[in-house]
Structure 1
């Protein structure tokens, strides 16, 4: 199934519905939810998935597991997706929060094959076996920490979303406290209470997460300078320490 709407096939009696979709550059799928869990794989480009609780950045050849009935929106940066929409009862082990995962070569090939299934594919034949194998392979995937949490308060969350859209190394706790008409100490205490980390540590992580789509179109040197790092080496060290792999793994080939 390619470029079809989930609503048109949601009630089909199949636990796994594979759908491939090609998106125009920069398209935003505004806030929505669907009752099925979703395995959202980006064959090309970068996806930015937002929920009320956080932001997950999904590079090419990675995927994000989205729980059923979770409110979310997705920004597509030159993306072609291969999604699986899955009946919740078929995956009781599905995570309760969005999770970015690496995708194995086998799973990638299975996804590419599955999106060409007919809507009511044969459960007893090859297609049914592939659908079952897809679920087995997903359980074996390793999480990748390409996310940043958001505060629960709307005013703090708005500050954080604004920062993620345009990370500015010059912004300080004092700047944010002034925006909210509060003292820096009270602001910092409240931010830490809602996120578990200091505002400065949050901004550092946010800049690293925001670097992921930049790496598709810019050099590591350019990204390091854009985000305020003193050198490409310091940016690479911070990125590798936070995510467990170097930024070169995501750079455009």
Structure 2
């Protein structure tokens, strides 16, 4: 079944306003944008469900109460699952202090509600209007939000690309770097150096990023913690909870309560 383009009728660059917003709901089937870029930077903020963004050579999972920022002219595509409601904010790159790199942004209640309000407004607003004043508050809140990098890089280097695709397909198989080195006829040292050269991180960090983005996706879909631990190949639920708290600051159940309650 063909997936429709979720922004067929909306082009942020057609507006002279420096900040505009658009809201999309997917009631039955998944929706996606084709791989594209635009002048305005884009904030993707799910209100319910989860969005998967492919930005350059990385996959970003965007759960409820988080958002992903995509800077101006960065190639990307967005896939939203069925029964998902998402707001997209578009910001001119000349706006002061907006992020210049892709990142995950925590969404405060104020930021969430102002983006929703803007998306429901006439986007062709005047500079001194009530909507323009709302936008000023929105930008002040946006640039002050905490920023993280919850992405899973997909390298273009053929061997690393195949490793990335294999880990995505079977995340429960927790193979070490030595396994992958042997599989692609390299020494462990050579593969370790290649990963560092291509990604700027270690193999363990790369794998950790996969666990984080898949955890966020599964938590936003109300998957039980025990099931997530099994899906990601952890030996026990306690081992998974330890990993989650170490990297995200809270145990999964507390994180769910703070980030996914509506």
TM-score (norm 2): 0.84
Label 1:204 to 1:169 Cα distance change in 2 as closer, same or farther (>3 A). Answer: farther
Tell me whether 1:64 sits opposite 2:65 in the alignment. no
Q: 2:3: which partner in 1?
A: none
Tell me whether 1:153 sits opposite 2:169 in the alignment. no
Unaligned 5+ segments in structure 2 are 1-5
Provide Cα deviations, 1:226-248, integer angstroms capped at 9, x if missing partner. 21212222111101111223322
Q: Distance in 1 between matches of 2:209 and 2:129?
A: 47
Q: Distance in 2 between matches of 1:162 and 1:30?
A: 24
Q: Distance in 1 between matches of 2:29 and 2:39?
A: 27
Provide Cα deviations, 1:105-141, integer angstroms capped at 9, x if missing partner. 1111111211111131233121111112111110110
Q: In the alignment, which of 42, 48, 53 is matched to residue 46 of structure 2?
A: 42
Q: Distance in 1 between matches of 2:29 and 2:203?
A: 32
Label 1:155 to 1:31 Cα distance change in 2 as closer, same or farther (>3 A). Answer: farther
| SS of structure 2 residue aligned to 1:6 | coil
RMSD of equivalent CA atoms: 2.5
Q: Post-superposition shift, 1:145?
A: 3.8
| Greater displacement, 188-197 / 219-228 | 188-197
Q: Are 2:23 and 2:87, in contact at CA under 8 Å, matched by a contact in 1?
A: yes
Q: In the alignment, which of 15, 32, 41 is matched to residue 36 of structure 2?
A: 32
Q: Post-superposition shift, 1:158?
A: 4.1
Unaligned 5+ segments in structure 1 are none
Label 1:141 to 1:70 Cα distance change in 2 as closer, same or farther (>3 A). Answer: same
Label 1:171 to 1:101 Cα distance change in 2 as closer, same or farther (>3 A). Answer: same
Q: Distance in 2 between matches of 1:239 and 1:114?
A: 34
Query: After the TM superposition, which residues 1-253 of structure 1 pair with which residues of structure 2 at under 5 Å, given as runs?
Result: 5-7=9-11, 10-23=13-26, 25-78=29-82, 79-91=84-96, 93-151=97-155, 153-215=157-219, 216-248=221-253, 249-250=255-256
Q: Post-superposition shift, 1:17?
A: 1.1
Label 1:74 to 1:159 Cα distance change in 2 as closer, same or farther (>3 A). Answer: farther
Q: Post-superposition shift, 1:75?
A: 2.4
Label 1:4 to 1:131 Cα distance change in 2 as closer, same or farther (>3 A). Answer: farther
Q: Distance in 2 between matches of 1:192 and 1:241?
A: 23
Q: Post-superposition shift, 1:161?
A: 3.8
TM-score (norm 1): 0.86
Q: How many residues align?
A: 250
